[in-house]
Amino acid sequence: HVILARLQDAHRIQVSKVQCFSNLGVAIVHLAKQEDKDYLVNKLQCVILFPNDGIQVTCTEQLEVTSYIVLDENQTVSSIDAIARRWIDLFPSTHRPQFQTLSIQFPNIIKVTSFSIEELQAVTKFRVFQIEDQVARIHTHVDCSYLEELPRSQPKLDENRIFCFIATQLNMSDRARIDKDLCQEQANTLFQQIQSLPLPLKQLKSQIYIRYNEQSSNAIILASNSLYQWVLMKC
Protein backbone atom coordinates (compact mmCIF):
# COMPACT_ATOMS: atom_id res chain seq x y z
CA HIS A 1 0.00 0.00 0.00
CA VAL A 2 1.52 3.30 -1.14
CA ILE A 3 0.47 5.45 1.83
CA LEU A 4 1.54 2.89 4.40
CA ALA A 5 4.89 2.29 2.69
CA ARG A 6 5.61 6.01 2.28
CA LEU A 7 4.86 6.86 5.91
CA GLN A 8 6.83 3.93 7.28
CA ASP A 9 9.82 4.04 4.92
CA ALA A 10 10.26 7.79 4.47
CA HIS A 11 9.07 9.08 7.85
CA ARG A 12 9.44 6.11 10.22
CA ILE A 13 5.79 6.36 11.28
CA GLN A 14 4.22 3.15 12.57
CA VAL A 15 0.93 2.59 10.75
CA SER A 16 -1.64 0.10 12.04
CA LYS A 17 -4.12 0.35 9.17
CA VAL A 18 -5.02 2.53 6.19
CA GLN A 19 -8.57 2.86 4.86
CA CYS A 20 -8.66 4.32 1.35
CA PHE A 21 -11.70 5.89 -0.28
CA SER A 22 -10.27 6.69 -3.71
CA ASN A 23 -13.55 7.94 -5.17
CA LEU A 24 -13.51 10.65 -2.49
CA GLY A 25 -9.78 11.33 -2.52
CA VAL A 26 -9.65 10.48 1.18
CA ALA A 27 -7.74 8.02 3.35
CA ILE A 28 -8.03 7.36 7.08
CA VAL A 29 -4.73 6.38 8.68
CA HIS A 30 -4.69 4.49 11.98
CA LEU A 31 -1.44 4.97 13.90
CA ALA A 32 0.13 2.94 16.67
CA LYS A 33 1.50 5.88 18.65
CA GLN A 34 0.07 9.23 19.72
CA GLU A 35 3.43 10.91 19.11
CA ASP A 36 3.33 9.74 15.48
CA LYS A 37 -0.10 11.33 15.10
CA ASP A 38 1.13 14.61 16.61
CA TYR A 39 4.13 14.62 14.28
CA LEU A 40 2.06 13.79 11.20
CA VAL A 41 -0.68 16.37 11.84
CA ASN A 42 1.22 19.21 13.51
CA LYS A 43 4.72 19.06 12.01
CA LEU A 44 4.80 17.06 8.79
CA GLN A 45 1.29 18.19 7.68
CA CYS A 46 1.65 16.91 4.11
CA VAL A 47 3.20 13.93 2.33
CA ILE A 48 4.36 13.49 -1.26
CA LEU A 49 3.35 9.96 -2.24
CA PHE A 50 5.14 9.84 -5.59
CA PRO A 51 8.23 12.09 -5.65
CA ASN A 52 8.11 12.55 -9.43
CA ASP A 53 4.57 13.95 -9.67
CA GLY A 54 4.80 16.60 -6.93
CA ILE A 55 1.22 15.99 -5.75
CA GLN A 56 0.92 16.47 -2.00
CA VAL A 57 -1.46 14.73 0.39
CA THR A 58 -2.58 16.91 3.29
CA CYS A 59 -2.67 15.37 6.77
CA THR A 60 -5.35 16.59 9.20
CA GLU A 61 -6.71 15.42 12.53
CA GLN A 62 -10.36 15.86 11.54
CA LEU A 63 -11.98 14.63 8.36
CA GLU A 64 -13.17 17.58 6.28
CA VAL A 65 -14.17 16.98 2.67
CA THR A 66 -15.62 19.46 0.20
CA SER A 67 -18.25 18.52 -2.37
CA TYR A 68 -20.26 20.70 -4.73
CA ILE A 69 -23.95 20.62 -5.63
CA VAL A 70 -24.69 21.93 -9.12
CA LEU A 71 -28.27 22.95 -9.87
CA ASP A 72 -29.85 23.91 -13.18
CA GLU A 73 -28.95 27.57 -13.61
CA ASN A 74 -31.97 28.18 -15.84
CA GLN A 75 -34.35 27.73 -12.90
CA THR A 76 -34.82 29.60 -9.66
CA VAL A 77 -32.28 28.12 -7.27
CA SER A 78 -33.67 26.62 -4.07
CA SER A 79 -32.69 28.28 -0.80
CA ILE A 80 -29.66 27.09 1.14
CA ASP A 81 -31.96 25.95 3.97
CA ALA A 82 -34.06 23.85 1.58
CA ILE A 83 -30.94 22.31 0.04
CA ALA A 84 -29.50 21.55 3.48
CA ARG A 85 -32.73 19.88 4.64
CA ARG A 86 -32.89 17.72 1.53
CA TRP A 87 -29.23 16.72 1.82
CA ILE A 88 -29.58 15.79 5.49
CA ASP A 89 -32.72 13.76 4.73
CA LEU A 90 -30.84 11.78 2.08
CA PHE A 91 -27.49 11.52 3.85
CA PRO A 92 -28.09 11.56 7.63
CA SER A 93 -25.03 12.10 9.79
CA THR A 94 -24.16 12.83 13.41
CA HIS A 95 -21.87 15.62 12.13
CA ARG A 96 -23.95 18.29 10.40
CA PRO A 97 -22.34 19.44 7.14
CA GLN A 98 -21.91 23.10 6.22
CA PHE A 99 -23.53 24.67 3.15
CA GLN A 100 -22.75 27.90 1.33
CA THR A 101 -23.33 29.45 -2.07
CA LEU A 102 -19.98 29.40 -3.81
CA SER A 103 -20.34 32.81 -5.47
CA ILE A 104 -23.08 35.33 -6.19
CA GLN A 105 -21.99 35.09 -9.83
CA PHE A 106 -22.69 31.35 -9.80
CA PRO A 107 -25.69 30.92 -7.46
CA ASN A 108 -26.43 27.45 -8.86
CA ILE A 109 -23.26 25.98 -7.27
CA ILE A 110 -23.39 25.09 -3.58
CA LYS A 111 -20.30 24.17 -1.59
CA VAL A 112 -20.82 21.41 0.98
CA THR A 113 -18.26 20.67 3.70
CA SER A 114 -18.74 17.22 5.26
CA PHE A 115 -17.18 15.71 8.38
CA SER A 116 -18.46 12.12 8.24
CA ILE A 117 -17.08 9.32 6.08
CA GLU A 118 -20.41 7.46 6.31
CA GLU A 119 -22.22 10.47 4.88
CA LEU A 120 -19.70 10.77 2.06
CA GLN A 121 -19.95 7.08 1.18
CA ALA A 122 -23.72 7.50 0.87
CA VAL A 123 -23.22 10.57 -1.32
CA THR A 124 -21.11 8.62 -3.83
CA LYS A 125 -23.98 6.17 -4.35
CA PHE A 126 -26.40 8.91 -5.41
CA ARG A 127 -24.53 11.59 -7.39
CA VAL A 128 -27.90 12.97 -8.52
CA PHE A 129 -30.95 13.89 -6.46
CA GLN A 130 -34.07 16.00 -6.78
CA ILE A 131 -34.92 19.03 -4.69
CA GLU A 132 -38.29 20.69 -5.21
CA ASP A 133 -38.54 20.84 -9.03
CA GLN A 134 -34.82 20.80 -9.70
CA VAL A 135 -32.24 18.15 -10.45
CA ALA A 136 -29.08 18.48 -8.34
CA ARG A 137 -25.79 16.87 -9.35
CA ILE A 138 -23.08 16.18 -6.80
CA HIS A 139 -19.41 16.62 -7.65
CA THR A 140 -16.98 14.94 -5.25
CA HIS A 141 -13.18 14.69 -5.35
CA VAL A 142 -12.86 17.78 -7.57
CA ASP A 143 -10.63 20.82 -7.69
CA CYS A 144 -12.45 24.17 -7.77
CA SER A 145 -10.84 27.00 -9.74
CA TYR A 146 -11.75 30.49 -10.89
CA LEU A 147 -10.74 32.18 -14.12
CA GLU A 148 -11.23 35.91 -13.69
CA GLU A 149 -11.45 38.82 -16.13
CA LEU A 150 -11.18 36.64 -19.21
CA PRO A 151 -10.60 38.59 -22.44
CA ARG A 152 -13.81 39.62 -24.19
CA SER A 153 -12.61 38.55 -27.60
CA GLN A 154 -14.17 37.34 -30.82
CA PRO A 155 -15.36 34.70 -31.25
CA LYS A 156 -17.23 35.08 -27.96
CA LEU A 157 -16.24 32.85 -25.08
CA ASP A 158 -18.54 30.14 -23.78
CA GLU A 159 -18.13 26.91 -21.83
CA ASN A 160 -17.16 24.88 -24.91
CA ARG A 161 -14.48 27.34 -25.99
CA ILE A 162 -13.01 27.44 -22.49
CA PHE A 163 -12.90 23.63 -22.50
CA CYS A 164 -11.01 23.73 -25.80
CA PHE A 165 -8.40 26.08 -24.34
CA ILE A 166 -7.96 23.81 -21.31
CA ALA A 167 -7.87 20.55 -23.28
CA THR A 168 -5.31 21.76 -25.80
CA GLN A 169 -3.02 23.25 -23.16
CA LEU A 170 -2.94 20.33 -20.72
CA ASN A 171 -0.01 18.68 -22.46
CA MET A 172 1.72 21.86 -23.61
CA SER A 173 5.03 22.96 -22.17
CA ASP A 174 5.09 26.10 -20.03
CA ARG A 175 6.84 27.91 -22.88
CA ALA A 176 4.18 26.90 -25.42
CA ARG A 177 1.37 28.11 -23.14
CA ILE A 178 2.65 31.69 -23.21
CA ASP A 179 2.34 31.73 -27.02
CA LYS A 180 -1.08 33.36 -27.28
CA ASP A 181 -1.45 32.78 -31.02
CA LEU A 182 -0.58 29.08 -30.74
CA CYS A 183 -3.07 28.58 -27.89
CA GLN A 184 -5.81 30.36 -29.84
CA GLU A 185 -5.10 28.37 -33.00
CA GLN A 186 -5.20 25.00 -31.27
CA ALA A 187 -8.33 25.88 -29.30
CA ASN A 188 -10.09 27.02 -32.49
CA THR A 189 -9.14 23.79 -34.25
CA LEU A 190 -10.55 21.67 -31.43
CA PHE A 191 -13.70 23.79 -31.26
CA GLN A 192 -14.51 22.78 -34.83
CA GLN A 193 -14.78 19.18 -33.57
CA ILE A 194 -16.78 19.97 -30.41
CA GLN A 195 -19.89 18.10 -31.61
CA SER A 196 -17.93 14.97 -32.56
CA LEU A 197 -15.04 14.73 -30.12
CA PRO A 198 -12.92 11.57 -30.12
CA LEU A 199 -13.52 9.29 -27.13
CA PRO A 200 -10.52 10.43 -25.01
CA LEU A 201 -11.66 14.06 -25.26
CA LYS A 202 -15.27 13.11 -24.49
CA GLN A 203 -14.01 11.40 -21.35
CA LEU A 204 -11.93 14.46 -20.48
CA LYS A 205 -14.94 16.74 -20.98
CA SER A 206 -17.00 14.59 -18.62
CA GLN A 207 -14.40 15.22 -15.90
CA ILE A 208 -14.59 19.01 -16.13
CA TYR A 209 -17.60 21.15 -15.24
CA ILE A 210 -17.31 24.70 -16.58
CA ARG A 211 -19.65 27.62 -16.00
CA TYR A 212 -19.02 30.99 -17.64
CA ASN A 213 -20.57 34.27 -16.49
CA GLU A 214 -20.69 36.46 -19.57
CA GLN A 215 -21.54 39.63 -17.65
CA SER A 216 -18.42 39.52 -15.44
CA SER A 217 -16.34 37.47 -17.91
CA ASN A 218 -15.41 35.09 -15.10
CA ALA A 219 -15.55 31.31 -15.14
CA ILE A 220 -15.61 28.59 -12.52
CA ILE A 221 -14.19 25.14 -13.13
CA LEU A 222 -14.78 21.92 -11.19
CA ALA A 223 -12.22 19.43 -12.43
CA SER A 224 -11.63 15.89 -11.26
CA ASN A 225 -8.61 15.65 -8.97
CA SER A 226 -7.46 12.74 -11.13
CA LEU A 227 -6.52 15.32 -13.79
CA TYR A 228 -3.04 15.86 -12.42
CA GLN A 229 -2.03 17.90 -15.48
CA TRP A 230 -4.71 20.49 -14.63
CA VAL A 231 -3.72 20.66 -10.96
CA LEU A 232 -0.06 21.12 -11.89
CA MET A 233 -0.83 23.58 -14.69
CA LYS A 234 -2.61 25.88 -12.21
CA CYS A 235 0.43 26.10 -9.94
Q: Which of 135, 107, 123 is nearest to 211 (CA)?
A: 107
Cis omega before residue 107 (within 30°)? no
Per-residue pLDDT reduced to its tens digit, 150-169: 988 777 899 999 999 999 99
Query: Do 25 and 91 fall into the same domain?
Result: no
Q: Which CATH number do you get for residue 132?
A: 3.30.70.330
Query: Do 53 and 72 fall into the same domain?
Result: no
Query: Do 70 and 26 fall into the same domain?
Result: no
| pLDDT at site 232 | 65
Backbone angles phi, psi at 119, to 5 degrees: -60, -45
Q: Which of 121, 139, 120, 159 is nearest to 69 (CA)?
A: 139
Query: Do 187 and 158 fall into the same domain?
Result: yes
Beta bridge mates, 223: 143, 208
Per-residue pLDDT reduced to its tens digit, 158-197: 999 999 999 999 888 889 999 999 999 999 999 999 999 9
Helix, strand, coil share of the chain (percent; to 5): 35, 30, 35
Query: Do 96 and 159 fall into the same domain?
Result: no
Q: Which conformational region is residue 147 in: left (phi greater than 0), alpha (psi within -120 to 50 degrees), or beta?
A: beta
CB 139 within 8 A of CB 66: no
| pLDDT at site 25 | 86
Pairing of strands 106-114, 128-131: unpaired
Which pTM value belongs to this model? Answer: 0.88
CB 97 within 8 A of CB 140: no
| pLDDT at site 82 | 94
Q: Which of 114, 140, 166 is the last residue of a domain?
A: 140
| pLDDT at site 65 | 93
Query: Do 168 and 227 fall into the same domain?
Result: yes
**In 3-state terms, what secondary structure has residue 28?**
strand
CB 225 within 8 A of CB 24: no
Query: Do 169 and 216 fall into the same domain?
Result: yes
- What is the total count of domains within the chain? 3
For residue 125, CA distances in Å to 45, 138, 157, 226 come to 30, 10, 35, 19
Q: How many CA atoms lie within 13 A of 196 on its CB side?
A: 2
Q: Which of 140, 168, 186 is the last residue of a domain?
A: 140
Q: Which of 16, 33, 58 is the last residue of a domain?
A: 58
| pLDDT at site 231 | 63
Which residue range forms the structural domain that includes residue 213?
A: 144-234
Residues of the chain scoring pLDDT < 50: none
Query: Do 70 and 128 fall into the same domain?
Result: yes
